[in-house]
Amino acid sequence: MNKLTRVKVILLSVSFAFAQVIGFLGITQVAHAAPGNMQAPFDIGSSWTIFQGYKSGPNNSHNGVSAFGLDLYIPGDVNASTGRAVRVPAGGTIYGYWAETGTLCINTGSRSYDLTHINLTIPDPGRGPSNPRIPVAAGQSVGTIAGAGLLRNNGTAHLHFQFWEGPNCYPQTTPANPGIPFDSAHGLRMCGLPDLYDGGPVGTANQGQWSGTPFTAQTCDTPYPGVGNATFKGVTQLTTGMRLNPNEYLTSLNGQSVLLMQGDGNLVVYRGLSIAQWNSGTSGHPGAYLVVQGDGNVVVYAPNEQPLWWTGTNSVTRFTMQTDGNLVGYDTNSQWKWQSGTGGQPAWTYKGTDHLNQYQRLNPGEYLKSADKRYFLLMQTDGNLVLYSPGYHVLWSSGTNGNAGAYLEVQGDGNIVVYRADRWPLWYTGTNNAFDLFVQNDGNLVAYTLTNSWVWQSWTGGRI
């Protein structure tokens, strides 16, 4: 390549200072969560209130004694919480589901917890000691809050959440499982909440401890660090017989989501500057791998062939990382049999190429993709032009957020410009001989002349 030359911009009457810090890039940063041990059982960023915090005593709507349990809801009318997603706060295996109260019981280690007054969005596992132990992972969506007056919720849509010092949740014959407070001392503090220790304040008359406490569900994880030196599998899904080995990953078609088999043994769905969206809870087993088995089950195995996590299915033939962010197991009839519950992401439009030529545009919501499918240049709908590596890990940005409707154009005069919707220039390369703009396989965004000499680049080559 030739030496990069600085070219004065004559066509534009104003100069622009390029942002030096990520705070000007218009990319949402994830705030550090309050210290905690597990995620609250809701979507990250959603706001809730403790309506009632039990101390002790019988409660027939919850199948028995309720000590230190929490009734969680969104203030407003009686249906304000109806239909809200309920997520697994701590990984474990399902013991059973009581349909009459909408109670899902999950065993985790020597303890257990229940999520009550919910409609399942996973296949009904039934209940009882003879049931197969179906594993669930932290962050996985398992149900939605039932409407007011349903599943014994006493006329207000809410979630009852309680931990037990023993397996199988509510004692059915003897009070064998005492309840546990949601605090750090017991390893149960929820990220985004204070320590809900025994003896805490009674916020509302007759509503028990900690009632009236508002909170926002926060993540306990660190921001997505990128795939590092992991190997791209080159596909968006695994089919029967395929494996995802340690430090291998696959991506969704739009590159927005990554399924990474980490070296520590954890299988993780990542997306953007956000945190892990879902994980199998199998860290601490270096060398573990994922396989789509011929019997229709999808399993994470330790190196010694011990199963660590599985979907509990018998007909999955493809395990797909979808463009909406959901990880789904499908059968041969394209019916889903298992899902991570991480969908709902916007669907951007692929331009169908890795570059733009002169007179071509990248419109809001469109993206280019490198030939090896690892890097993406997205013209975001907020006006920011962003270069991403797998999982939408940010490498470079034009710093033009806050300008909905902005677009990128490779001009006939050799300049490359991000224009506001009213044609006001927001960012430009400052060149007068650029012929095309490429998203390269090395992660660099480069403008070339007609003779293939580069005249501008993002200086991100070799990064991921």
CATH of the domain at 386: 2.90.10.10
Q: Could you tell me if 335 and 354 lie in one domain?
A: no
Residue 306 inside a domain? The answer is yes
* Domain extent at residue 261: 231-339
Q: Could you tell me if 57 and 192 lie in one domain?
A: yes
Q: In sequence order, which residues have a C-beta less than 8 Å from that of residue 461 and are 6 or more positions away?
A: 440, 442, 443, 444
Give the position of tokens 């001009």. 411
Cβ pair 342, 278 in contact under 8 A: yes
Q: Could you tell me if 114 and 251 lie in one domain?
A: no
C-alpha 118, offset from chain centre: 22
Residue 90 inside a domain? The answer is yes
Label residues 353-389 b or e (16+ Cβ within 10 Å = b). Answer: ebbbebeeebebebbbbbeebbbbbbbbebbbbbbbb
Pick the last residue of a domain from 322, 339, 356. 339
Cβ pair 82, 148 in contact under 8 A: yes
Write down the pLDDT at residue 362.
98
Q: CA 435, CA 2: separation in Å to the nearest integer?
A: 15
Write down the pLDDT at residue 8.
25
Q: Could you tell me if 126 and 265 lie in one domain?
A: no
Pick the last residue of a domain from 183, 216, 249. 216
Write down the pLDDT at residue 341.
86
Q: Could you tell me if 87 and 200 lie in one domain?
A: yes
Question: Pick from 346, 299, 344, 303: which is nearest to 319 by CA?
Answer: 299
Q: pLDDT digit string (tens) for 43-57?
A: 877 889 999 887 644
Write down the pLDDT at residue 26.
27
Name the amino acid, one letter, at 211: S
Q: In sequence order, which residues have a C-beta less than 8 Å from that of residue 252 and are 6 or more positions away?
A: 236, 258, 321, 322, 323, 325
Q: CA 271, CA 139: separation in Å to the nearest integer?
A: 14
Q: Could you tell me if 272 and 377 lie in one domain?
A: no
Q: Could you tell me if 205 and 64 lie in one domain?
A: yes
Write down the pLDDT at residue 17.
28
Residue 77 inside a domain? The answer is yes
Residue 34 inside a domain? The answer is no
Q: Could you tell me if 85 and 201 lie in one domain?
A: yes
Q: pLDDT digit string (tens) for 261-300?
A: 999 999 999 987 666 788 898 989 999 999 999 999 999 9
Write down the pLDDT at residue 68.
85
Write down the pLDDT at residue 110.
86
Residue 369 inside a domain? The answer is yes
154 Rama sector, left if φ>0, alpha if ψ -120 to 50, beta otherwise: left
Max Cα distance, the chain (Å):
84
Write down the pLDDT at residue 217.
86
Q: Could you tell me if 204 and 237 lie in one domain?
A: no
How many structural domains compose the chain? Answer: 3
Q: pLDDT digit string (tens) for 195-252?
A: 898 887 877 767 888 888 898 888 776 667 788 889 999 999 999 999 999 999 999 9
Q: Is 55 exposed, middle or buried (0-12, 13-18, 19+ CB in 10 A)?
A: middle
Which of the residues in the chain have pLDDT under 50? Answer: 1-34, 56-63, 173-174
Answering whether pTM is above 0.85, one says no
Cβ pair 455, 449 in contact under 8 A: yes
Residue 362 inside a domain? The answer is yes
Write down the pLDDT at residue 98.
93
Write down the pLDDT at residue 33.
34
Q: CA 167, CA 112: separation in Å to the nearest integer?
A: 5
Tokens representing 83 are 């239909």
Question: Pick from 379, 390, 137: which is nearest to 257 by CA?
Answer: 390
Residue 201 inside a domain? The answer is yes
Residue 212 sits in a domain of what CATH number? Answer: 2.70.70.10
Q: Could you tell me if 70 and 187 lie in one domain?
A: yes
Q: Could you tell me if 170 and 236 lie in one domain?
A: no
Q: Could you tell me if 64 and 196 lie in one domain?
A: yes
Pick the last residue of a domain from 285, 305, 339. 339
Q: pLDDT digit string (tens) for 9-31?
A: 222 222 222 222 222 222 222 22
Residue 53 inside a domain? The answer is yes
